[in-house]
Amino acid sequence: MSTASTSASKATPELIFFEGQPAVHLRAPGGAEATVLLHGGQVLSWIPAGGQERLYLSERAVYAEGKAVRGGVPVIFPQFEKRGPLPRHGFARDRRWKLLRAETGADDAMAVLGLSDDEATRAIWPHAFSVGRTVNVGARRVGLELEVYNPGTAPFSFNAALHTYLRVNEVEEARLTGLRGLTHADSTEGGREHLDSNGTLRVEGEVDRIYFDAPGALRLSEPQRELGIELQQFPDVVVWNPWEEKCAALADMPPLGFRRMLCVEAAAIGTPISLAPGEDWWGRQTLYA
Ligand code: TA6
C-alpha cells in the first residue's frame, strides 16, 4: 500500500513524500488528482474527478536509487528495451528528475519536471540533452507530455516511450480497440510480424507487441468503464501484459498483478528521432476517463 501523505484541504500543488521519495501531488479544481515522483519523473497515480484510480502501481514496487518503479508511467529514454548498448529501457526512469514548475489553473493542475545530462549520463551516452515532462490534470483527462531538446553542438538520436501501466479490474474482460489493419512485431516470437485483421485486442495470455505507425486514437473498454487514449507525435504503440509465468518471475510484481494491468505505451521506436543542435521534439499521450 502507498504511504503517500496528502491532505485534501491543502492547496495544490503540494510536495509530499511517497514511499519515502519526494513527489508532487496535483489536485485540479474539479477534484481530479495525480501524483508524480521525482525519481524517474514518474506519474504514479491518476484519479479523474469523481472516479477511481486509473493507473496500475505494483504494491511490490521498489523505490530506490538506480531502480525503476514498477507501475504508473515510466519514461523510457533514450533507448527502448535492449535496442542499443545502454541499460534496458535507457536511464531516465531510474534517475532523480527536477521539479521545474507546478501550478493550479482555473480548471487544471500541472507540473513540469526536467532531466539533463550530467557526468554519469555522459559516461554511458555522450550527449548533451534536456528532457522535459509535463503532466496536466483536468477533470476527466490527464495529458502526459515528453519534450527532448538538444542543447549541444552535435546531433543525437533516441528512442522514447511513455510506458503507461493502465489499471484494469480484470484484464481478461478488457478490450483494446483501434489497432485494426496494423502490423505488429511480436516480441514473444522474436519480433515476428503479424497483421491485426480483427482490431479488438483481448488479453488471454502473454502479450508483448509493438504496433508501428499506429493511429492516434485507441480505446480501452471494460464492462463498467471506458478509457480513451490519444497519441500525438508518438508513432508507435506497445501493448504489454506479462501474464502468469513472467509476472511470477518479476520480484516487484505480486503473483496476480498481471490481472490488474495492461501497458498501452506511446512510443517512438521504429524510426529513432534525430535532433540537430538546437532542435527539439515533443510527444504526448492523453488519457480520457
Ligand atoms: O514495453 C514492453 C517491455 O519492453 C516488455 O518486453 C516487458 O519486459 C516490459 O517492457 C517491462 O520491462 P522492465 O524492464 O520494466 O521489466
In the numeric block, which cell numbers belong to residue 243? 501474464
**Alpha carbon 139 to its chain's center:** 20
Instruction: Examine the pLDDT at 8 and tell me if it is beyond 50.
Output: no
Q: What is the distance in A from the centroid of ligand 1 to the CA of 81?
A: 7
Band of pLDDT at residue 270, cut at 50, 70 and 90 = very high
Answer yes or no: is the C-beta of 287 below 6 A from any ligand 1 atom. Answer: no
Instruction: Examine the pLDDT at 173 and tell me if it is beyond 50.
Output: yes
Band of pLDDT at residue 11, cut at 50, 70 and 90 = low
Q: What is the distance in A from the centroid of ligand 1 to the CA of 154?
A: 30
Whether residue 265 lies in the annotated active site: yes
Instruction: Examine the pLDDT at 3 and tell me if it is beyond 60.
Output: no
What mean pLDDT value characterizes the chain?
95
Calculate mean pLDDT across residues 44-70: 96
Whole-model pTM: value is 0.95
